[in-house]
Structure 1
Amino acid sequence: MKLLKQTTFIISVLFLLSSFTKIEDKSYVGKWKGEDKGDIGFLILSKEGYATFEFEGQAMGGKSYNHKGIEASMKYIVNTSSKPYAIDFIITNLSNDEELGRLIGIIEMNDKSTMKMALTFGGGSERPSDFSQDAITFNRFKE
């Protein structure tokens, strides 16, 4: 009887603890290869929250890079509670932590090795609602 009470107590505690654990999808983290209008580029989403775009050997973003003469960083935030996921790329001035710009978009994980993305370029303030315009499909890149 005592063993049954102890077992029931342990199972109850484990159940309560596991119900508060939030498991977030991080399948978007990694290096991605995409093609846009014939140009091939890469997107790196680090587990630390930094984003880097690479085109023709030039890198923009990451922990530190030159953004129009200013030492900046580019981070990303993904909201996995929306479908498709919302993603923001945030450029920040490293000297004063001021936000210099933001690209907003959406991503959808087709599977663990394919991701679709649509971004608002040109200063638009509306997040895309679907992938009908300017969507890019990225494939996980393995070096």
Structure 2
Amino acid sequence: MKFSKRFSLLLSALLLFCSFSFIGADKSYVGKWKGKDKGDIGFLTLTKHNYATFEFDGEIMGGKSYNHQGITAALKYRVNTKKSPATIDFIIWDKKKAIEVGRLRGIFKMSSNLQMQMAINFSGSNHRPKDFSIDSITFLRESE
């Protein structure tokens, strides 16, 4: 009887610990971010549903539905926080044909909950930046 109570208590504590460790795990990057790239102020929004939106000079690219070179597209993102630095892919998805039509590869690191550094390859090649030495942008959190 004592063993089953102890086992039950241990199992409950383990489940509780695991559930708290997964709440919000690796999601500190979700939110609206403000960055400066070559003197221009821009915004990046990463939603909890894995949609991304870029906004520069009042122009918005991305989100659940937008016009991308004449097609109705969505801009999604995928992260891997198990790598160091963490990787991020911005995936342009043709909504009508349900196929990927483009991908931007990048890396990021969270300096704090309010600051994120990111480097993205905008050339369209399969190359992912290895570090933050070229064309990296520091983003400051605007909102969650």
Same fold at TM > 0.5:
yes
CA offsets 1:64-95 (integer angstroms, 9 cap, x no match): 00001100000000101001110000000000
Equivalenced residues, count: 141
Instruction: Determine the structure 1 residue equivalent to 2:72.
Output: 71
Q: Shift in Å at residue 9 of structure 1?
A: 1.8
Q: When the two structures are superposed, what TM-score results if normalisation uses the length of structure 2? A: 0.90
Q: Shift in Å at residue 12 of structure 1?
A: 3.0
Instruction: Determine the structure 2 residue equivalent to 1:43.
Output: 44
Which stretch of structure 1 is more off in the superposition, 110-119 or 125-134? 125-134
Q: Shift in Å at residue 5 of structure 1?
A: 3.0
Letter in 2 for 1:111: S
Q: Shift in Å at residue 15 of structure 1?
A: 5.0
Uncovered stretches (5+) of structure 1, i.e. residues with no partner: none
- Contact (CA 8 Å) 2:31, 2:143: kept in 1 or not? no
Q: Shift in Å at residue 11 of structure 1?
A: 2.4
Instruction: Determine the structure 2 residue equivalent to 1:61.
Output: 62
Which stretch of structure 1 is more off in the superposition, 12-21 or 77-86? 12-21
Larger radius of gyration: 1
Q: Shift in Å at residue 14 of structure 1?
A: 2.4
Q: Shift in Å at residue 63 of structure 1?
A: 0.2
Instruction: Determine the structure 1 residue equivalent to 2:121.
Output: 120
Instruction: Determine the structure 2 residue equivalent to 1:30.
Output: 31
Q: For residues 143 and 86 of structure 2, what CA distance do their matches in structure 1 show?
A: 23
Q: 1:8 aligns with which of 6, 14, 21?
A: 6
Provide the aligned C-alpha RMSD in A.
Answer: 1.9
Q: When the two structures are superposed, what TM-score results if normalisation uses the length of structure 1? A: 0.91
Percent identity over the alignment is 53
